Amino acid sequence: MQKILINGGNLLQGSVPVSGSKNASLPIMAASILTNENLELENVPDLVDVNTMSAVLSSLGVNVTKKDVNTNRLTLRYSDSEITIAEYDLVRKMRASILVLGPLLARKRHASVSLPGGCAIGARPVDLHINALSKLGAAFELDGGYIKCSAPNGLKGNKINFSKVSVGATENIIMAASLARGESEIRNIAVEPEVMDLIDCLNKMGAKIELGENRNVHIQGVDQLQGAVHSIIPDRIEAITYIIGGTIIGNDLKITNLNLEHISNVLELLNELSINYSMGENSIIVNQSEISDGIDINTMEYPGFPTDVQAQMMVLLSLGKSKSQITENIFENRFMHVPELNRMGANIETKGKTAVINPCKGFISAQVMATDLRASVSLILAGLVAKGETTLNRIYHLDRGYEKIEKKLQACGADIRRIN
């Protein structure tokens, strides 16, 4: 089993490039099922989740090829296979695998997709996918841990109003409605940059999708979609992670290849904390900053503060001089990193869905364990400023969402390495 060792204290200097967005790549890859022509994607990150989605799509008849192992360009071509079952052994590895459900229904009129690991129809978000697709004419049943769905007469446009904002459900229904007969109006959609990137790609493929106001979208179904060439947007969560790294231990750390508009909500918060940074055209330079004032943060759907940055922000606020708090409004049980940060010297108390971050004297090295993707990177950030050697276990979470993170940090002066 691999581990990451970090000897903290080295200033982060130089330049670190932001990779393509994981959360934009996965639904756009699933969109390859909607056409028989080549979908060529650029700036696709080399991540475990991308490889998992490639395996899911390959099992369904999509030929996924990488033209050059040294580039981040994928070509996907659907063979119009009769296979419409996304098997448990693949889907269990990644919840985003459910994004093949909408495209399969639209193209093949039936599909069987294993429930994502640990999920059950009911209060879980997967019911939002099913309810929305049902409005387009699909029938569903749960059998042996699989969502089995069919639309023998094809999908038909309709008005859909999400009861709760959901990125995945929004992406699934938009892809399905693109090939449904007639018009669809979908209300209360997610408007994250990753959703907008999917819409941009689908329109390049010949879809007719128009964004309205107040989280509404209008879709005129078309008979077929064509191939396209599309470049994946930069990963805003990775960008913010490195910005926080520069804030806690940076010396003119330059983060490049990012979209500043996509992180404007977080930059506004950094302004409140008087963080020392300067912006370029597609870059930002960050310096180690002292945080005097506390702050209250609520995670919210975009354009609110992203839940995927909550763990990293705890590291930054722990080093401040005043008490702060973060309230998690998106996911349950997303404070599993708190005990590990406290092992490293943090003073964080959790009360329900709120975490109170008290100032600490600094982080100290420890043996810690990653519990999820964003938790794992928060422990790396803490390790970068901790005294002594920090050992991070269960790092497979990292490889799901951060491309070559230890190499990027090494290039900026960090003493960090991966061992077996």
The DSSP bridge partners found for residue 219 are 184, 209
Query: Taking the CB of residue 81, how many other CB atoms lie within 10 A of it?
Result: 13
Report d(CA 63, CA 77) in Å as an integer: 5
Q: Which two tokens stand for residue 394?
A: 């269960």
CA-closest candidate to residue 306, choices 210, 237, 364: 237
What is the secondary structure of 388-415 as a DSSP string? SEEEEE-GGGHHHH-TTHHHHHHHTT-E
Range list of β-strands (E), 257-346 = 277-279, 283-286, 296-298, 324-327
Nearest-angstrom CA–CA distance, 336 and 370: 9
Full DSSP string of 224-254: ----EEEEPPB-HHHHHHHHHHHHHHEEEEE
Mind telling me the catalytic residues?
Answer: 119
φ, ψ for residue 357, nearest 5 deg: -105, 110
Q: Exposed, middle or buried, 320 (CB in 10 Å: 0-12/13-18/19+)?
A: buried
C-alpha 21/C-alpha 237 separation (Å) is 8
**Cross-strand partners of 148:** 112, 141
Owner of token pair 């940059």: 193
Longest dimension (CA), the chain: 65
Closest to 266 measured CA to CA, from 227, 233, 307: 307
Asked if 244 contacts 306 with a C-beta cutoff of 8 angstroms, the reply is no
CA geometry: angle 148, 164, 102, nearest 5 deg: 30
Output DSSP code: residue 138: -
Cβ count within 10 A of residue 109: 17
With beta carbons less than 8 A apart as the criterion, state whether 405 and 373 touch: no
From CA 355, how far away is CA 330, in angstroms rounded?
A: 14
d(CA 171, CA 196): 10
Beta bridge partners of 383: none
In sequence order, which ranges of 277-369 are alpha helices (DSSP H)?
310-318, 338-343
